[in-house]
């Protein structure tokens, strides 16, 4: 912190918009924990901030809707944005600094050099959203270089993302520790997500089939990989007949290190991952399944 006296938490977090302001705010910050987000903060983000707070002298939350990770037909323009609400929530969680850069601050030039996510980045989410993980890994690298955190917290809700971020750090020798946080769910089982705000009451009921399918799959673990896939698929097939229908994008049981499908006789840790649309909203969820 640049002030000579410690910052009074009652004043809420310091909101900084530029790299220069960020550097000044972090001049004497001790151990820095970063929570990268796209804002529209909810309980899932809170749980990441709490993990960061336990381990950091200074907690930084970045709020940036990253255009590079959205496809041309995706929801970049209508993605919910609420910096005052986000700042208030960060204050409740004892966050020290909110870094909320403008797009032009992060991307002063059209981005030419990007981070290739490799084969893992082309599976599941990467297959459905071409270029998505290149956008994610590029902005995460930029945020690491801007904030220079000692550690950064990512949620298991985006399982493929955190697996790729771990590989980014390992493969490119980035000097940051990655901390994983479990998926937070709403009381009805739906994984908390900024995109849940798009759902009507009826759509939300249909969306509950995502977590139901994952639970059904996990419950079938003793029967092996095919039983897990079958149990989850049965729930999704039923939900496809609901009104409004759940339109599945993918359902996959994969190796957590590669996100490649596991073979029928596979033993050990796997991830059961699902993506589906309800109306105009695309949702993802996953659980760990030990076979
Ligand atoms: P987002 O703002 O959606 O980009 O998410 C920012 C971070 O919060 C990512 O590391 C997400 O994985 C994490 N996150 C989002 N939703 C949840 C959730 N329900 N439980 C745990 N972490 C979450």
> What residue's CA is closest to ligand 1, atom 13?
155
Nearest CA residue ID for atom 22, ligand 1: 155
Domains of the chain: 9-181 (3.40.50.620), 194-290 (3.30.1300.10)
What is the position in ligand 1's atom list of the atom closest to the CA of 184? 20
Cα 34 to ligand 1 centroid, rounded to whole Å: 13
Is there an atom of ligand 1 within 6 Å of 135 CB? no
Q: How many CA atoms lie within 13 A of 120 on its CB side?
A: 19
Instruction: Name which residue sits closest to atom 5 of ligand 1, judged by CA.
Output: 37
For residue 115, the CA-to-ligand 1 centroid distance in Å is 21
Ligand 1 touching residue 207 (CB < 6 A): no
Centre of ligand 1 to C-alpha 30, Å, is 25
Per-residue pLDDT of the chain (291 residues; tens, 9 = 90+): 444 445 666 789 999 999 999 999 999 999 999 999 999 999 999 999 999 999 999 999 999 999 999 999 999 999 999 999 999 999 999 999 999 999 999 999 999 999 999 999 999 999 999 999 999 999 999 999 999 999 999 999 999 999 999 999 999 999 999 999 999 999 999 999 999 999 999 999 999 999 999 999 999 999 999 999 999 999 999 999 999 999 999 999 999 999 999 999 999 999 999 999 999 999 999 999 999
CB of residue 169 inside a 6 A radius of ligand 1: no
Whole-angstrom Cα Rg for the chain: 19
Determine the Cα angle at 166 with ends 164 and 170, to 5°.
Answer: 115
Burial 239-278 (b: 16+ CB within 10 A, else e): beebeebbebbebbbbbbeebebbeeebeeebbbbbbbbb
Q: Are 119 and 133 in contact (CB under 8 A)?
A: no
**What local confidence, expressed as pLDDT, does residue 2 receive?**
45
pTM for the model stands at 0.96
Task: State yes or no: is 45 an active-site residue.
Answer: yes
């Amino acid at each position: 912190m640049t002030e000579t006296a410690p910052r009074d938490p009652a004043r809420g977090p310091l909101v900084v918009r530029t790299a220069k302001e960020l550097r000044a705010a972090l001049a004497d910050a001790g151990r820095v924990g970063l929570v990268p987000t796209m804002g529209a903060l909810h309980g899932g983000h809170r749980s990441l901030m709490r993990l960061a707070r336990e381990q950091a002298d200074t907690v930084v939350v970045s709020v940036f809707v990253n255009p590079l990770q959205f496809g041309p037909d995706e929801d970049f323009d209508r993605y919910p944005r609420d910096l005052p609400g986000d700042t208030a929530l960060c204050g409740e969680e004892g966050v020290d600094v909110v870094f909320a850069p403008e797009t032009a601050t992060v991307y002063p030039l059209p981005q030419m050099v990007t981070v290739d996510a490799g084969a893992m980045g082309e599976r599941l989410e990467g297959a459905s959203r071409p270029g998505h993980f290149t956008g994610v890994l590029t902005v995460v690298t930029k945020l690491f270089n801007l904030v220079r955190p000692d550690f950064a917290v990512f949620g298991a809700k985006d399982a493929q993302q955190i697996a790729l971020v771990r590989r980014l750090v390992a493969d490119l020798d980035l000097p940051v520790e990655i901390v994983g946080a479990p998926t937070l769910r709403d009381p009805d089982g739906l994984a908390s997500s900024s995109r849940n705000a798009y759902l009507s009451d009826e759509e939300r009921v249909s969306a509950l089939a995502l977590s139901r399918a994952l639970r059904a799959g996990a419950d079938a673990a003793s029967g092996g990989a095919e039983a897990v896939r079958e149990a989850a698929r049965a729930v999704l097939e039923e939900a496809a007949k609901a009104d409004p229908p759940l339109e599945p994008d993918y359902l996959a049981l994969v190796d957590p290190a590669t996100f490649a499908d596991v073979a029928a006789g596979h033993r050990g840790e796997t991830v059961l991952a699902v993506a589906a649309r309800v109306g105009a909203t695309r949702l993802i969820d996953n659980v760990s399944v030990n076979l």
